[in-house]
Amino acid sequence: MYLFSESEGQHKFKKMNLSNLKPAVGSTKNSKRIGRGTGSGRGGTSTRGHKGAGSRSGHKTKIGFEGGQMPLQRRVPKVGFKPINRTEYVGVNLDVLQALAEKHSLTTIDFAALQAHGLASKNDLVKILGRGEVKAKLEITAHAFSATAQKAIEAAGGSIVKL
């Protein structure tokens, strides 16, 4: 790989290596050199101000600390509730099942088939939801079914099996 440079109208190519790599222009800034004498403008208190905990070595403030004022995360009311023992399902809609059955000419769709086609992973619980419609007569096996999905599957002549 070569670097291209123009000087005095001539084109030169330099071989690129680790010694001539530089960051893009303007992407880096020099850090503040504090505590290097009064002439630097950052001597004396080294930008820490006078007295107080913030001027001492080893001082750290907690995240969200607002100087003793009631912090924002405690002022804002808490909303919602998530029960600790809730069951979370992966939802699969009827239109997805219909497309899957048409594409792969399936008559039974079980958990293994859903896993094989990437709709669920091995530790998921699957719930069949009622969006779309089923035209084919399918036997569907899943952990749970919504009421509308169950009606639609049975109306099309299919059957459901709960795991």
Over residues 87-114, the pLDDT tens digits come to: 999 999 999 999 999 999 888 999 999 9
Please give the pLDDT value at position 163.
Answer: 86
Give a yes or no: residue 134 inside a domain: yes
pTM listed for this prediction:
0.53
DSSP 19: G
Residue 74 included in any domain? no
Domain at 134, CATH number:
3.100.10.10
C-alpha gyration radius of the chain: 33
In a domain, 149, yes or no: yes
Domains: count for the chain: 1
**Alpha-helix residue ranges (DSSP H) falling in 105-140:** 111-116
Residue 143 included in any domain: yes
Q: Show pLDDT as tens, one digit a residue, over the chain (163 residues).
A: 555 555 555 666 778 889 888 899 999 999 999 999 999 999 999 999 999 988 999 999 899 999 899 999 999 998 888 888 999 999 999 999 999 999 998 889 999 999 999 999 999 999 999 999 998 899 999 999 999 999 999 999 999 999 8
Domain-located, residue 9: no
Residue 71 falls within a domain, yes or no?
Answer: no
Residue 133 belongs to some domain of the structure: yes
Q: Which tokens hold the place of 13?
A: 């190519």
Q: Look at residues 90, 161, 83, 86 and name the one whose alpha carbon lies nearest to residue 125.
A: 90
CA 18/CA 112 separation, integer angstroms = 52
Q: What is the pLDDT of residue 96?
A: 93
What is the domain extent for residue 156? 89-162
158 and 134 Cβ atoms separated by less than 8 Å = yes
Q: How far apart are CA 121 and CA 41, in angstroms?
A: 61
Residue 16 included in any domain: no
Q: Count of alpha carbons within 13 Å of 160, Cβ hemisphere only?
A: 24
Task: Take residue 152 and report the two structure tokens written for it.
Answer: 């639609």
